[in-house]
Structure 1
Amino acid sequence: IEIKRPLYQHWAIYVGDGYVIHVTDEGASSITLSSSSICATRAKVKKELLMEVVKNHKWHVNNKYDRSRTPRPVEEIIRRAEQWVGKEVPYDVLNRNCEHFVTELRYGEAVSHQAKKAVVGGASAIVGTTLLGVAALAGIALSGSKSKT
């Protein structure tokens, strides 16, 4: 289940009877900024009603990786997810987030497109800003050398 939040997408595994299992920073230790997963270093695996997790956000079933990966049998996914409930796990927004948790359970491989996109986007922004800065400096240098002649 992909839940559309304002700045990111939250991911959970649907396990039946209206419940999902997901990784959340709520109730976990080592959180620098409460209710913001960006600074969390630990997270808690919880089983909660889908509608309580979703609140007023939009959500949909998203098995987008099924095109490139083979999902485990549903019973195995649910069994593995249930084993994590109540446990605290390491958390890192770019390397061990809720999407990584869900894809590890479903496919046996932790993948997060949004984290990858954030890293690539962040790197692009840095490169773009650097190039803009170099161009500005070059323009200043050229205008300075023209005014001296």
Structure 2
Amino acid sequence: MLDTLTFLLAHIKLSSLLPPSAREMADPPPPPRFDSARFQRGDLLEVPRTLFTHFGIYLGENRVAHLIPDILPVLTSDPQQVQLMVTNTRLLLGVLCKRASVRVDSVEDFAYGAGILQNAMDRVVDRRPLGGEEVARGAEQLLGGVAYSLLWNNCEHFVTRCRYGSAQSLQTQQFCEGMKALIRDRRVVVLTALLGLLSLVCLGVSSGTALPSLLVPFTLWMAS
């Protein structure tokens, strides 16, 4: 899959993946100015997004190391292009291709207009944080391209590995718990069975419709 996407994307101008010019952008609100003096080297920073929380490690001098999906390092080795702020297009294609990079951005670019929480995860993780210098050096050693997984290797895994010595994602755990609760709910089994019967009525009986219509509700029933 990655080879196919790389072939196709190689024929797209790299400029289409780079940030649009000022004429093409609506005037964004001015980013908040952060007092970087309150951050210590090795601090774990997190910013809320619409559907998730993004994490990074503060390196000092207004710099944050963070893992972010990005397709551009697959297409070019030009560090000047890769270092430009990751656009939504680059991010989405990185998710689909399961590629990311651990990169360094300013605090303002990392926050992207949101407020920043500092070391809030220390209160919920059952491991003591490592020393600030050890955390920052660990993050610096991981800079560069990495494989990406939405559930199993994301920005939260990166920061917890650096700060606590063990990669984990509370967001992934919450998602899995939600999925387990959904599977255990027998109302979902009934709904799935009804949808299967509806597909048989609308599409007719065939191996392509009958097998999923029977197998999916049965699997959910046995797991509930």
- TM-score interval w.r.t. the shorter chain? 0.7 to 0.9
**Given residue 14 of structure 1, which amino acid in structure 2 is its aligned partner?**
Y
Structure with the larger RCO, 1 or 2 (CA within 8 Å, 6+ apart): 1
1:70 to 128, 148, 151: 128
RMSD (Å) for aligned C-alpha atoms: 2.5
Indicate the residue corresponding to 1:93 in structure 2.
150
Which structure dedicates a bigger proportion of its chain to helix?
A: 2
Separation in 2 of the partners of 1:115 and 1:135?
Answer: 26
Q: Decide whether aligned partners of structure 1 residues 118 and 28 sit closer, same or farther in structure 2, where only a CA change above 3 A counts.
A: farther
* Contact kept? 1:20, 1:48, Cα under 8 Å: yes
**Given residue 88 of structure 1, which amino acid in structure 2 is its aligned partner?**
G
Separation in 2 of the partners of 1:93 and 1:52?
Answer: 22
SS in 2 for 1:47: strand
**Given residue 29 of structure 1, which amino acid in structure 2 is its aligned partner?**
V
Tell me by how many angstroms 1:111 deviates.
Answer: 1.2
CA offsets 1:30-78 (integer angstroms, 9 cap, x no match): 9xx7423653412101011011111112221134245520211111111
How many aligned residue pairs are there? 134
1:120 to 177, 180, 198: 177
Among all aligned residue pairs of Structure 1 and Structure 2, give the percentage whose two residues are the same amino acid: 30
Structure 2 residue runs of 5 or longer lacking an equivalent are 1-44, 76-88, 194-224
Asked if 1:134 corresponds to 2:178, the answer is: no
1:104 to 131, 155, 161: 161
* Contact kept? 1:24, 1:44, Cα under 8 Å: yes
Which structure dedicates a bigger proportion of its chain to strand?
A: 1
* Contact kept? 2:69, 2:95, Cα under 8 Å: no
Tell me by how many angstroms 1:91 deviates.
Answer: 1.1
Q: Decide whether aligned partners of structure 1 residues 136 and 71 sit closer, same or farther in structure 2, where only a CA change above 3 A counts.
A: closer
Tell me by how many angstroms 1:4 deviates.
Answer: 0.4
